[in-house]
Structure 1
């Protein structure tokens, strides 16, 4: 059967998995049938990690054919890769133009985006799914701007200080990164249709009274999936809130430094008395008392946990570091910090796949030489906090063998390594590049360029492989504190597409824009003194460039100096005047 002979139903099913720009650029000009068909289907529009040229072209298409805006039911915008994408989108559209929008994801919201969002969010009456990944201050600014409707029946008094008792936010899915747990509990009163809730890095300093939590009765009956990840909580409050989620199917709880929550008997009582529909329960709890972990681990080995539900657990025991107890496999949305642990598990249970879901690993290099009993087949991001002293090539080979013993390096896509011109041999990076063919993202110290540019073999690998580069190692400060010289970056990383530079000069962006031909996004951080006249000259030069969306932000305002950020999103045509 020929491709074009397939019925429309098959194409409609396939289109559900494709991004709107891909659908239009692949099918719009194919023939009249597809031209008409793609203008009748709901569209998912995901601009995350998209090329600016494609972004501009599709936005312009939606301006020319406004009916496409009415086809968009899901929209995802992100400032994470393109520092200013959300603001760039707002130069084309207001969210209210997408009248059938049901799902909205906004990643790394900037303070400058708040005004636009505050005025439009209340008007999105069809919105059912909202995912915000903002700063803490942005979250609370937008909280009372969520779309609301008046209920016919539900009118339980509210403990929220920002919403009236009659207002209902008609969301079915909500994901929040950062937030006060007290406020999130209050917010649940206004979301009786919520089916999925994800809370990441929530904080709670004050307890909520049982009477106030009791207002949730009947208000969270639709909730089926709850994920509380890396949060600081009051155990009593959390369990009391969960007890009202009587239709919960899946529960994930990740809480550190809270021994009260490690209570098998209490969890069993909660599940048997209130959560009769629960089929998935995953947790990770931590405390600095390893002996307490061992004692409480035994309470999770009863028939209720092992035979009735097959919820198997394991411990990571450490000295003077946080010990953990968790359901296996280890949670996939968390990073593992180091290997300085002893594994403690039930030998009758298969432990070979315990860490299959771990994709993000942080570890000091010295721990590699002594670690045993760990293997991570699917690591995507590797952060090495410190490197041992390599006296010769033999030491480097031992280090590489140690890496290969605990992980499959061929899956690693991002590497952060404290490579420094004064302390490290450059060939250690070369050995890793050889063993990690899919590596495309790199964080190193800016001074490392000086030692890399003299090694032609390293330059060949970095030229071919590295597409995303950050001159910032978050795991520890730069020991040599050398000022950031960008003049050699294009010699070592000529094909980099995404670049972030810290503590550089504002005029460095002009050099980078003109010497990195494939650069798509650029972010530089620098200090500007109040009497620095060169700053305005740089901005004047930047204004002459074409096909670039430029974003300026004050990150910190100190007495006589500002920490500034310039963000650039580049359409790689001719950027010169």
Structure 2
């Protein structure tokens, strides 16, 4: 195989066929196809290229389809290509699955007998329907929103070695211990508490310990000492533990964790944590408790080094580097760094940062956040007359965050604090921002600044407007101004129950492909769907809280 063909095969996995002719691809190449973050014309081109050569179906070993931040891919792709044609497919990811995708997924999924990895997100109410038809004989890695309710389906997880689940409780975890005896890595996004009953304790007494489990991650765990001890009692061979615990009004004690580790986690080597609580006592008392984590057991024996922050409203202690993707800078924050370390990269894992605008008035934060992609500005002091953001606060923000990597800005709760001129200055400094979340009332101030409107027209592709129970606009004149200012957006989240206004949005926002609608009342969706058909294929996805309208637009070729 020559280097040129090897390079083209690599391009396939990264840029989705943009420069690739399948005729030139050697048959031995294993192709990984990732459709994440591509536009509709390129998606159409990729599908045509797949259709052009029947042999390509046997070469694709990994496939990634997404309805999120894309052109609504899953339904068109599965309608055009049945999954059973990909006879060597080993890894399948379906992101942001909708109800309309269910029938096609269920009809073809059983034929993927070579599948070793399956990942799907959203639409958790139909988890049982999807898992029940999933081939599991060779499945090693599984990532799902929720565990199935059926014990029979969980019993089919015997080959699993890696499991990621969005939510889990003790009862479900007990079933996992019983069925997935080979499990080595378990990641849980959110822990859901159940009251411990005699029935649960009876089940636990008959379940073998998860002796093969070496890695455990729980990202959001509301503190409960009994639950923690029960989990760790069944995982005696853990070597890696990552956990984020919120204690509420409970005290954070190093002695409790030292006792758990000495009793149950004798093989633990890597322990990374974030422990946070409400500010329920004097700062000095919290400091004394946190300093216990700097004793001989933690630092000298295990080399687990910590830092802590105490603010006006909360307190937090964590190991470095910081494990969570989210961080909050609050007013009155006092940081206590570890003098024995110089971790310049300790916050590199953080992608989402929330900052109280008033905290910026106190100067730059002691640490620098270099990899933030999502920035949220808030204001907890809205009634104060001096809460308007000043240029010095923006300079503090620049000294705290690398704004060049920020792609998303949420300023809903700080709208009254940020004048349009300050927002324009911020957006010019953070030139990669393409996603904006604002308050509905801020629109009238925004529209008064022509320079800001021109900038938003060029840059914003995704917009969420917090409407607080009101419609996006009051009249046609405001709607026209809105469409002029945000003419480039592809995704819009707002509130509206006027069918004609919704149709106007799709007709005058030529790039709009997803309208996430928090509707005030029921509207005539059939009439609207018929009207939108002239623009492309339409899918309505309804839930109890919102309606998503996907428009797969027709483009001239």
Task: Quickly name the TM-score band, shorter chain normalised.
Answer: 0.7 to 0.9
**Preserved CA contact (<8 Å) 1:19 1:44:** yes
Query: How far did residue 515 of structure 1 move?
Result: 3.0
1:251 maps to 241
Aligned to 1:299, what secondary structure does the other structure show? helix
Provide Cα deviations, 1:15-50, integer angstroms capped at 9, x if missing partner.
46x554736332327xx6xx132x432222222222
Give the alignment's TM-score, normalised by structure 1.
Answer: 0.79
Q: Which of the residues 3, 6, 9 maps onto 2:3?
A: 6
Q: Which runs of 5+ in 1 are unaligned?
A: 152-158, 558-562
Aligned to 1:183, what secondary structure does the other structure show? helix
Alignment of structure 1 residues 475-514 onto 2, 5 Å: 477=468, 483=474, 485-503=478-496, 505-514=498-507
**Preserved CA contact (<8 Å) 1:52 1:571:** no
Provide Cα deviations, 1:78-130, integer angstroms capped at 9, x if missing partner.
23224743333332234444333333333333334344445555554333333
Aligned to 1:163, what secondary structure does the other structure show? helix
2:143 maps to none
1:364 maps to 356
Alignment of structure 1 residues 129-208 onto 2, 5 Å: 129-139=117-127, 142=130, 144-149=132-137, 162-163=151-152, 167-207=156-196
1:77 maps to 65
Provide Cα deviations, 1:326-374, integer angstroms capped at 9, x if missing partner.
1122224234363543223444443655434322112332332236545
1:538 aligns with 2:538: no
Aligned residues: 540
1:565 aligns with 2:548: yes
1:470 aligns with 2:464: yes
1:287 maps to 277
* Partners of 1:282 and 1:357 in 2: CA distance: 13
Query: How far did residue 554 of structure 1 move?
Result: 2.5
Aligned to 1:566, what secondary structure does the other structure show? strand
Query: How far did residue 226 of structure 1 move?
Result: 2.2
Query: How far did residue 512 of structure 1 move?
Result: 3.3
* Partners of 1:408 and 1:224 in 2: CA distance: 36
Query: How far did residue 544 of structure 1 move?
Result: 1.9
1:380 aligns with 2:373: yes
Aligned to 1:25, what secondary structure does the other structure show? coil
1:154 maps to none
Query: How far did residue 131 of structure 1 move?
Result: 3.0
**Preserved CA contact (<8 Å) 1:466 1:496:** yes
> Which structure has more RCO (C-alpha within 8 Å, separation ≥ 6)?
1
* Partners of 1:74 and 1:419 in 2: CA distance: 41
**Preserved CA contact (<8 Å) 1:329 1:354:** yes
Query: How far did residue 249 of structure 1 move?
Result: 4.1
**Preserved CA contact (<8 Å) 1:131 1:176:** no
CA RMSD of the aligned region, Å?
4.0
Alignment of structure 1 residues 416-435 onto 2, 5 Å: 416-418=410-412, 425-435=419-429
Q: Which of the residues 309, 328, 332 maps onto 1:336?
A: 328
* Partners of 2:62 and 2:170 in 1: CA distance: 27
**Preserved CA contact (<8 Å) 1:77 1:107:** yes
Provide Cα deviations, 1:159-186, integer angstroms capped at 9, x if missing partner.
9852279634433332222343431341
Provide Cα deviations, 1:431-484, integer angstroms capped at 9, x if missing partner.
1112212222211234544443443322332233323222237xxx48998548
**Preserved CA contact (<8 Å) 1:146 1:169:** no
Query: How far did residue 402 of structure 1 move?
Result: 3.1
Query: How far did residue 381 of structure 1 move?
Result: 1.0
1:40 aligns with 2:40: no
